[in-house]
Amino acid sequence: MEQTQVETPLRRLRKCRGLTVAEVSLAIGIDQGNLSRIERGEQFSRRAAAALVAYYGAESISELEILYPDRFPRMAVSQAPCGVDATRAKN
């Protein structure tokens, strides 16, 4: 059976910027496994969320998108500017 990866706002933002889990985890000082679980919505850490918002910029992602990724529409990266979620994209 094939597993599909959930494209959460956090994972989408990292991939859109061409960054690896290793690069981001090193930059914010958390374990790669923890970052991966946070990206998948399986784990939450206030410290990591604050570090991620600071790293990417508050205009790119919010703590709510990290905490509740399932509440934000999934959108292909090509459909919105890099770092802009569907809920934030405006014409």
Give Dmax over CA atoms of the chain in angstroms.
Answer: 40
* Mean pLDDT, rounded, of the chain: 78
What is the residue range of 58's domain? 9-71
Residue 48, domain member (yes or no): yes
What's the pTM?
A: 0.69
User: In CATH, what number is assigned to the domain containing residue 24?
Assistant: 1.10.260
| Mean pLDDT calculated for residue range 57-66 | 84
Residue 46, domain member (yes or no): yes
Residue 33, domain member (yes or no): yes
Residue 84, domain member (yes or no): no
Integer Cα distance of 78 and 41 in angstroms = 22
Q: What are the tens digits of pLDDT across the range 22-46?
A: 999 999 999 999 999 998 889 988 8
